[in-house]
Chains A and B, each alone.
Chain A
Amino acid sequence: MTPFLYEKVSERGDALSLGTHPGAAYLGGGTNLVDLMREAIARPTLLVDVTGLSCKIEEDEKGGLRIGAGVKNTAVATDRRVRARFPLLAQAILAGASAQIRNMATVGGNVLQRTRCAYFYDDEAHCNKRSPGSGCDAIGGFNRNHAILGASPACAATHPSDMCVALAALDATVSIDGPRGSRDLPLTDFHRLPGDAPEIDTELRSGELITSIVLPSNGFSKRSSYRKVRDRSSYAFALVSVAAALELDGGRIKNVRLALGGVAHKPWRAHVAEAALAGRPATEAFFAEAAEAELRDAKGLRDNTFKIKLAKRVIVDSLVKLSNAKDAPR
């Protein structure tokens, strides 16, 4: 681990002024960043601990929530308002990592966690994300955990977060503050596809700080589910996950949200499927057609082609279960 300075701040202003230093990095729970430092993949020289900032969950008058970036993952998942109004988010968080990691991990850090691609983690391997221009060993190597949607010849890594898949489905917004002022971005626009610059994961600019995540109120609390498929029952990243939410009007789909995890460089909001379903009858045949349409452009690599079939099946199954659910599902 490269030697570094550590500063814990209690004012956002201090964070922002320290955060512009070259070599500075914000520190949440450290469950990802410190691992990367141990592997000498991240080499910050100044850690600005922001866990003392934005640690509250506040509600707006319409029932939406603003979750501070410093709130721990466990605290979000156990918050009564979150569980009642956004059970999808609580489920997704609890499907991730382990209890110990969730107790440490913050919302901001979760959004910014980096890929688990084995070649990114091994500094002897070629990886365009870790050292731009060096090539990608994953595309011809082990790529079971890799992308089937939106990948580029430069990178097929996936974003590993479960929480973000739920946030993508729930139309969350990321609130950002920075040296050049504050701004808001929809979560679905926050993470990027790899293109030819896979070293850039997100739209966050240097020195910018995530301050909170905003969840607008919705009518999905009765019919939503997070289904994570993985290689063991717990403590494994998603091969495919599906966040699904439905609002029905009689037998018709009034409103639907679908997002996929484990399939792309970002939490994948299934806009194509959603558009195909809006206003349609809630039947398995339509769900299947929508899933098919969403994955039309999916491409498998050596080890992950099965995800295409798997993703379609889980989408259909999730929607069938949600539409059959009498009242509160689960």
Chain B
Amino acid sequence: MSIVQAALKKAIALAPDSWIPGGSPDPLIRERHGHVGQPVSRIDGPLKVAGKARFAAEFPIEGLTYAALHYSSVAKGRIVEIRTSEAEQAPGVVLVMTHRNAPSLAKAPAFGTNPKAAGGDDLAIMQDDRIHWNGQAVALVLAETQEQADHAQSLIRVDYEVDAASTSFEQAIADGTEPGQFMGEPLKLRIGDADALFATAPAKVDATYRTPGHNHNPIELHAATLAWSGDELRVHDASQAVTHAAWTLSQIFGIKEEQVHVTSPFVGGGFGSKTLWHHQILGAAAARLAKRPVRIVLSREGVFRTVGGRAPTEQRVALGARRDGTFDAIIHTGVTAMTPHNAMTEPFIIATRSLYAAKSFRLEVDTVKLNTVANTFMRAPGEAVGTFALESAIDELAAEIGMDPIELRIRNEPERDPTQGLPFSQRGIVAAWRAGAERFEWYKRQQRPRSVRDGDWLVGLGCATATYPYYRMPGGAARITVTRDGRAIVAVAAHEMGMGTATAQTQVIADRLGLSMDQVKFHYGDTSLPGIVLAGGSQQTASVGAGVVAAHRALVAEMLKLAGNDSPLAGLHPSEVGGFDGGLCALDDHDRRESYASILARAQRTEISVEAEASMPLEMQHWSMHSHAAMFCEARVNEVTGEVRISRFLGSFDCGRILNPKTAASQFRGGIIMGLGLALMEETQLDERTGRIMNPSLAEYHVPVHLDVPAIDVIWTDEADPRTPMGARGVGEIGITGVGAAVANAVFNATGKRVRDLPITLDKLL
């Protein structure tokens, strides 16, 4: 951090609350109009059930061609010869694109290098003969049908000159590590002398935990339909970052940002993977070369080869405590993998920075580079695997000193952020623990492992803390249009990946404007709309919320001007006015009001439209803002076979105000299911001899099936965070955190065996 940045950070921390967004709480926290908090069903549900929601690969365009990719089979080296003539002559083939004939492309600006960069890596593929990873696209076939393209692709033959590659995580660690960075900040933190305090602590644990690589497997395959007209590029994408994708494509093709129009009305799951990878870039390049529109849909194998996933980690957690459980030292260090062509470090220490009080801390992430597809964000990057290590270690310490693991956690509950010193905006983890423990009947747990048996099955209970930060990125904006018939359209370049954004935002907007849900339309998923809104970091709800807050303020001010002196609202300051019952009213006197229709009619306007940018997200540096959950798991381990089955699971959440219990519960449950996969089965099998992923299919890359998932109970505190828009914090990612440890701790309680190496497969318990 530069001196200027450091000084600014300090100034924001010390500023009076009232200068900071959230300093005076969003009126919508207090004002209850009846939509927010209701379990409203998804407004796009009927469209989806009827098959009428159009996804990226479903946009019809005249003269469409279909793309198939041919992937390299070596991790590093160069192409000596690429034989494409057989493919070129195959039926229906329009063209074969390789490095010999691809249009010139600039390097993809990689995520994090610019506020609008969306590239998974910073490479320009097919610009030369170099190979950077096993699975890199080396040729693209365009044909009249998908089947013809797939077949022609299989006829391509490539000879490589192979260079030595780094494809073993273990070997790379032995060869030496480098310090890691996350979003421009070093992943390193020291407070006090943790090593000295650890050495003399009367109670301690010191263990190494390992998590494997994971691949993204959203149901909807990564896909785009692309068309050029002149220098204008139109992309129907499956995207969680439309504005970012458009800007990045404009940089690659050397055109203006406005010349790229990206739409993405529906996305079938993203989890951090639906950004910009080489398939969209190569698809656009091929469309330019062929002068025809292109549809590119990655096969499931193609997703494994083209789209990165979660990097492997090796983490040490050492906890030094007093006999009563008070932490003196927290050491959380380790190594993760990245690639020479990206800047994403899996930041597994983030949760450890704010979860527990301790006298001293030493936190550090180091990295090694592997020649693989670039690793990337995957649901709760950092926390998902970091909490596995930390929360397992805490369970180990609890067992060591004979203390209940929940009490041990509560014993170390901090009063302020333990490493930044900031006050918490709102923190209800203790309440979540108490409510969860009661509901799960935690008191029934036997402290001694191997105490409960049901036939062949050993039964154990385990728990862990889940956590995820509140984020809000700069760039939020919104446009609100109110028409004379009293309806509103709110437009933001946001995304609906199936989590219910459109539904929850419609509820919020209806309440903010004082309208019914059917009087509100939420437009999103299109770069022609305002805002730079990433559907990532669980921040979209806050980002859109803050944009709408700003636009709403502007709308109220404009409306008051239009209303003039003849209105019951005359004389009120915009901050004293809110939306109510189809119009505006004084916040402290709902009888002073006038409807939108009446204001617009009197002013002889058919509509009013305002656009505004959200405030800078300074609240994140003024308060320590985090969501939490207490995760409870009952695991059964078969004594004969080592098979693990999860028979009960409860997540007790503290995530601020829950805007829609139905969609939020689905996010929580979905996160927990993904966490069960992380705990028990997900693992990318990277063959270290070749750097090739050997399980690129859903038959071999295991995610939980229905039978692996018990009924999952979720509850929440529903306590508003006074510092966030609507009092809400994100609910998308937290569900996966803590689950790995809750499962491992339950398995320990069942069997007395501590598995520190994910996934917990049966061979580790035999």
Residues on A facing B (Cβ under 8 Å): 1-3, 38, 40, 116, 118-119, 122, 124-125, 137, 140-142, 229, 231-236, 239, 306, 309-310, 313-314, 317
Contact = CB atoms under 8 A, between A and B. Distances in A.
A119 B702 contact: no
Contacts of B766: 306, 309-310, 313
Contact of A231 (B685, B692, B706, B762): B762
A91 to B, nearest CB: 16
A140 B708 CA distance: 31
B174 interface: no
Contacts of B704: 232
Given A124-B73, A125-B694, A234-B708, 10 more contacts: A2-B154, A40-B154, A118-B700, A124-B692, A137-B689, A141-B689, A231-B702, A232-B680, A233-B707, A234-B706
The 5 A-B residue pairs with the shortest CB-CB distance in the complex, in nearest-first order: A233-B707, A124-B73, A306-B763, A118-B694, A40-B154
B761 A231 contact: yes
B694 A313 contact: no
Given A1-B147, A142-B687, A313-B640, A232 B694 contact: no
B26 interface: no
Contacts of A1: 147, 150-151, 154
Contacts of A306: 762-763, 766
Contacts of A317: 456, 640
A236 B677 CA distance: 14
B685 A118 contact: yes
Contacts of B101: none
B645 interface: yes
A322 B137 CA distance: 55
Contacts of A140: 689
A136 B641 CA distance: 29
22 contacts: A1-B147, A1-B154, A2-B154, A3-B91, A122-B692, A124-B692, A125-B692, A125-B694, A141-B689, A142-B694, A231-B681, A231-B761, A232-B681, A233-B707, A233-B708, A310-B641, A310-B763, A313-B640, A313-B766, A314-B640, A317-B456, A317-B640
B640 A141 contact: no
A233 B638 CA distance: 12
A197 to B, nearest CB: 24
- The interface centre, meaning the residue of B150, B154, B707 with most chain A CB atoms within 10 A of its CB, is B154
B719 interface: no
B705 A313 contact: no
Interface residues of B, number: 33
Nearest to B134: A124
A131 to B, nearest CB: 14
B643 interface: yes
Interface of B: 73, 91, 147, 150-151, 154, 456, 640-643, 645, 680-681, 685, 687, 689-690, 692, 694-695, 699-700, 702, 704-708, 761-763, 766
Contact of B694 (A40, A119, A235, A239): A119
Nearest to B640: A317
B694 A233 contact: no
Contact of A137 (B680, B687, B695, B700): B687
Nearest to B764: A306
Nearest to B72: A124
A5 to B, nearest CB: 15
Contacts of B685: 118, 142
Tell me whether chain B's interface is mostly helix, strand or loop, or mixed: loop
A231 B694 CA distance: 17
A116 B697 CA distance: 12
A116 B700 contact: yes
A232 B705 contact: yes
A34 to B, nearest CB: 13
A3 B147 CA distance: 10
A232 B702 contact: yes
B488 to A, nearest CB: 45
Contacts of B73: 124
Given A118-B695, A122-B692, A142-B687, A233 B645 contact: yes
A233 B705 contact: yes
B174 to A, nearest CB: 19
A239 B762 contact: yes
Given A118-B685, A124-B73, A236 B702 contact: yes
A143 B641 CA distance: 19
A125 B690 CA distance: 9
- The interface centre, meaning the residue of B681, B692, B708, B763 with most chain A CB atoms within 10 A of its CB, is B763
A320 to B, nearest CB: 10
B687 A141 contact: yes
Given A2-B151, A239-B762, A234 B705 contact: yes
Contacts of A234: 705-708
A1 B92 CA distance: 14
Contacts of B706: 234
B643 A229 contact: yes
A3 B643 CA distance: 44
Contacts of B702: 231-232, 236
A261 B766 CA distance: 19
Contacts of A309: 766
Contacts of A310: 641-642, 762-763, 766
A250 to B, nearest CB: 26
Contact of A313 (B641, B707, B708): B641
Nearest to B646: A233
Contacts of A239: 762
A225 to B, nearest CB: 13
- The interface centre, meaning the residue of B150, B640, B690, B762 with most chain A CB atoms within 10 A of its CB, is B640
Contacts of B707: 232-234
A316 to B, nearest CB: 8
A242 to B, nearest CB: 10
Nearest to B73: A124
A156 B702 CA distance: 22
A137 B699 CA distance: 20
Contacts of A236: 702
Given A124-B73, A141-B694, A231-B762, A314 B700 contact: no
